């Protein structure tokens, strides 16, 4: 499994209820189910991804994650995972508030826009960064939010969201290996992963 | 459901099957939701695959409006047409008969071997006709439960069905949640829309307006064939979609190069509808059509089981759900499936949902679809595995 998902999985308590928003084909949920007896539920917009996941036995709702997350009762889940999707969300604060309502804890990960390679592209080449983590040109990118590790930490403080863990990592977009970055995370990490809850 | 799906006997099916009959309520009549009762009651049914020694692998398939118990296989080697869901039921198929014991029964009120308006009324010895009590989907499901008890099945691995079959699936999940491990409602809704009831009413009116209908008493004379055929034609329009009709017929003419300037069936679509109407009259009873469409129109799961709340209707049990809709289905549009899903989520149920892109309208659930087969088989495999591991 992908390094970042593996790290997320390590935070999930065995036997818990997990909602994975933007779950793709449900790899994380399948892994959690098999290894930790987790009761997993996914939301995925793409029909073929959702169908592929359901065909592997994962419980997945095909739909828009911002809408689908709204219907659940308070604290319906122990963990809600939003993995590498926040940068594509029109109203991130609203979505995070919904997530923290339906889940006791939230795991949020995103590509760190402040990674040195992005900074170099902007500084030396004068162009919007195109990297393995952010592989789109400015005009066709689904990533409408520019998030840095530092920005997200500040955002949580400002909106009274408790940060239980904030881990900066360096890994490839689909790599099984990676490193946790402890020095200069905002400069050296290409992804940030946060474990959050309401204050 | 229609006979639009052209089935192919590919040799990979369940092979020869036999229609069976189960009769109950012989001494004590079967009470109905309306307050009336009926007895004896016979259900025609078929089974495919082997029941596990602990009866843990039973899957009930519920048929749609005008379907029957013959869901798969053939009755004889020369039988040209296998059951209505041959594409889904068989070894290695979506409902894999190497793994599951599949049961399909003709509904109470039907006319394919089950007790219905054409059956003899014990009080008179003549066919019931309109003396047959008005039924609900709940009555159909309660009769199915009696059959399953007779077969030694106290818990169903899954209940699967599309359209009116999907309503039965929902009724099963709300009425007997402890008996249903998984429920797979396809192309269906928790209640009919006004549009849907309107189509049914026009179809019923076509039947009762036929002079041969004779107040439902036609069993020893001419049948209301024209009315029933028109009812079926209306049904067929709703089973397809604008896109499906455009693709299949367009404005193509049937066996002619120009208009006849008469009211013959000039267009292919007219000819198709007339043919479907005629074929239907050969096999279906007009009174059954009235009763079954009425039962479907009366269906309102939230009102019956949740005091008006669909969420409450699903409040009991731990059934896993797989809800599927089809993008071009205008009879049971996707928004109705989403309403179901929303209620299931609010009730804390384990639910999967997929809207399959399909251009064939409501009939899509009957057609060969690797995607649908994959969804069903994956959902069932996981359900069975979790059940064995004790985590369901």
pLDDT digits (tens, 9 = 90+) for A114-123: 999 999 999 9
Identify the pLDDT of residue B11. 59
> Which stretches within chain B are classed as H helix?
137-150, 164-175, 194-208, 225-239, 242-248, 268-283, 286-298, 301-306, 310-313, 334-346, 370-389
Residue A194 CA to residue A139 CA, distance in Å, equals 29
Residue B107 CA to residue B140 CA, distance in Å, equals 6
Residue B72 CA to residue B61 CA, distance in Å, equals 11
Percentage of chain B exceeding pLDDT 90: 94
Residue B186 CA to residue B175 CA, distance in Å, equals 18
Rg of chain A over Cα atoms, rounded to whole angstroms, equals 16
Given a contact cutoff of 8 angstroms between Cβ atoms, the answer to whether A134 and A111 are in contact is yes
pLDDT digits (tens, 9 = 90+) for B35-62: 999 999 999 999 999 999 999 999 999 9
Phi, psi angles (nearest 5°) of residue B105: -115, 145
Residue B6: is its pLDDT beyond 70? no
Chain A residues close to B379, C-beta within 8 Å: 54, 57
Identify the pLDDT of residue B257. 94
The catalytic position among B325, B329, B363, B369 is B329
Identify the pLDDT of residue B12. 75
Residue B9: is its pLDDT beyond 90? no
Report long-range pairs for B122-127 (Cβ below 8 Å, ≥24 apart): B122/B39, B122/B40, B126/B219, B127/B219
Spans of chain A, pLDDT less than 70: none
Q: Say which of A41, A47, A56 has its CB closest to residue B357.
A: A47
| Mean pLDDT of the region B323-329 | 96
Whether B70 is catalytic: no
Beta strands, E only, chain A: 17-21, 39-44, 59-62, 77-83, 103-111, 161-171, 178-181, 191-198
pLDDT digits (tens, 9 = 90+) for B149-175: 999 999 999 999 999 999 999 999 999
User: Considering only alpha carbons, which residue of chain B is nearest residue A36?
Assistant: B391
Residue A72 CA to residue B165 CA, distance in Å, equals 28
Q: How crowded is residue B22: how many other Cβ atoms within 10 Å of its Cβ?
A: 18
Q: Reply yes or no: is the peptide bond before residue B270 cis, omega within 30 of 0.
A: no
Chain A residues close to B346, C-beta within 8 Å: 71-73
Given a contact cutoff of 8 angstroms between Cβ atoms, the answer to whether B202 and B194 are in contact is no
**And the tokens for A79?**
């963990």
Lowest mean pLDDT among B3-12, B61-70, B377-386: B3-12
Q: Minimal Cα–Cα distance from B150 to chain A, Å? A: 31
Phi, psi angles (nearest 5°) of residue B233: -65, -40
pLDDT-derived band of residue B2, with 50, 70 and 90 as boundaries? low
| Mean pLDDT of the region B194-203 | 97
Element (H, E) at B84: none
| Mean pLDDT of the region B216-240 | 97
Chain B residues close to A51, C-beta within 8 Å: 354, 356, 371, 374-375
- Identify the CA nearest to A161 among candidates A83, A89, A74, A103: A103
Lowest mean pLDDT among A46-55, B212-221, B359-368: B359-368
Residue B43 CA to residue B109 CA, distance in Å, equals 9
Identify the pLDDT of residue B390. 85
* B351 Cβ under 8 Å from any chain A Cβ: yes
pLDDT digits (tens, 9 = 90+) for B86-126: 999 999 999 999 999 999 999 999 999 999 999 999 999 99
Tell me which of B378, B386, B389 to substitute to probe the interface with A (most A C-beta atoms closer than 10 Å). Answer: B378
Distances (CA, A) of B238 to B4, B161, B363: 12, 18, 9
Identify the pLDDT of residue B8. 53
pLDDT-derived band of residue B4, with 50, 70 and 90 as boundaries? very low
Given a contact cutoff of 8 angstroms between Cβ atoms, the answer to whether B329 and B336 are in contact is no
Interface of A with B in 89-108 (CB under 8 A): none
Q: Which residue has the tokens 């990960």?
A: A109
| Mean pLDDT of the region B22-42 | 97
Residue B1: is its pLDDT beyond 70? no
Tell me which of B320, B324, B352 to substitute to probe the interface with A (most A C-beta atoms closer than 10 Å). Answer: B352
Residue B140: is its pLDDT beyond 90? yes
């Amino acid at each position: 499994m992908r390094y970042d998902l593996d790290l997320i999985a390590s935070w999930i308590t065995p036997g818990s209820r997990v909602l994975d928003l933007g779950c793709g084909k449900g790899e994380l949920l399948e892994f959690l189910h098999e290894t930790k007896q987790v009761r997993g539920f996914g939301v995925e917009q793409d029909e073929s991804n959702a169908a592929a996941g359901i065909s592997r036995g994962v419980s997945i709702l095909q739909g828009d994650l911002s809408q689908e997350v709204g219907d659940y009762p308070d604290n319906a889940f122990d963990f809600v995972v939003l993995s590498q999707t926040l940068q594509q969300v029109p109203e991130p604060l609203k979505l995070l508030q919904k997530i923290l309502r339906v889940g006791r804890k939230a795991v949020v990960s995103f590509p760190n826009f402040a990674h040195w390679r992005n900074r170099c592209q902007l500084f030396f080449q004068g162009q919007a960064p195109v990297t393995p983590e952010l592989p789109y040109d400015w005009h066709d990118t689904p990533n409408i939010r520019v998030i840095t590790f530092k920005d997200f930490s500040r955002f949580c403080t400002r909106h009274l969201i408790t940060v239980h863990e904030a881990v900066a990592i360096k890994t490839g977009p689909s790599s099984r290996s990676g490193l946790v970055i402890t020095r200069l995370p905002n400069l050296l990490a290409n992804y940030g992963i946060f474990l959050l809850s309401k204050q | 459901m229609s006979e639009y799906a052209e089935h192919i006997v590919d040799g990979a099916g369940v092979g020869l099957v036999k229609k069976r009959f189960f009769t109950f309520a012989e001494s004590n009549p079967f009470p109905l939701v309306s307050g009336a009762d009926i007895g004896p009651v016979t259900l025609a049914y078929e089974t495919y695959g082997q029941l596990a020694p602990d009866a843990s692998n039973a899957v009930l398939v519920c048929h749609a409006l005008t379907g029957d118990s013959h869901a798969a296989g053939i009755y004889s080697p020369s039988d040209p047409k296998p059951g209505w869901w041959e594409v889904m039921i068989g070894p290695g198929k979506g409902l894999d008969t190497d793994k599951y014991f599949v049961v399909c029964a003709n509904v109470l009120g039907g006319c394919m071997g089950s007790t219905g308006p054409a059956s003899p009324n014990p009080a008179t010895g003549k066919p019931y006709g309109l003396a047959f009590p008005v039924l609900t989907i709940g009555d159909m499901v309660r009769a199915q439960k009696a059959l399953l008890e007779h077969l030694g099945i106290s818990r169903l691995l899954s209940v699967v069905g599309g359209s009116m079959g999907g309503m039965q699936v929902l009724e099963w999940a709300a009425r007997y949640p402890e008996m249903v491990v998984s429920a797979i409602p396809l192309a269906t809704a928790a209640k009919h829309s006004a549009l849907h009831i309107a189509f049914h009413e026009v179809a019923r009116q076509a039947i009762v307006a036929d002079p041969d209908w004779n107040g439902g008493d036609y069993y020893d004379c001419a049948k209301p064939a024209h009315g029933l055929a028109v009812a079926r034609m209306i049904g067929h329009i709703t089973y397809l979609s604008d896109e499906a009709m455009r693709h299949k017929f367009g404005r193509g003419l049937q066996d002619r190069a120009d208009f006849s300037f008469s009211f013959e069936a000039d267009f292919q679509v007219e000819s198709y509808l007339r043919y479907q109407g005629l074929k239907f009259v050969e096999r279906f009873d007009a009174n059954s059509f009235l009763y079954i469409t009425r039962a479907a129109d009366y269906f309102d799961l939230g009102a019956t089981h949740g005091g008006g709340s669909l969420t409450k209707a699903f409040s009991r049990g731990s059934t896993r759900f797989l809800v599927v809709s089809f993008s071009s289905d205008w009879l049971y549009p996707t928004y109705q499936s989403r309403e179901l899903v929303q209620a299931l989520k609010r009730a804390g149920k384990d639910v999967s949902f997929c809207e399959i892109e399909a251009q064939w309208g409501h009939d899509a659930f009957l057609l060969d679809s690797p995607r649908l087969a994959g969804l069903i088989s994956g959902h069932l495999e996981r359900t069975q595995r979790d059940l064995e591991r004790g985590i369901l």
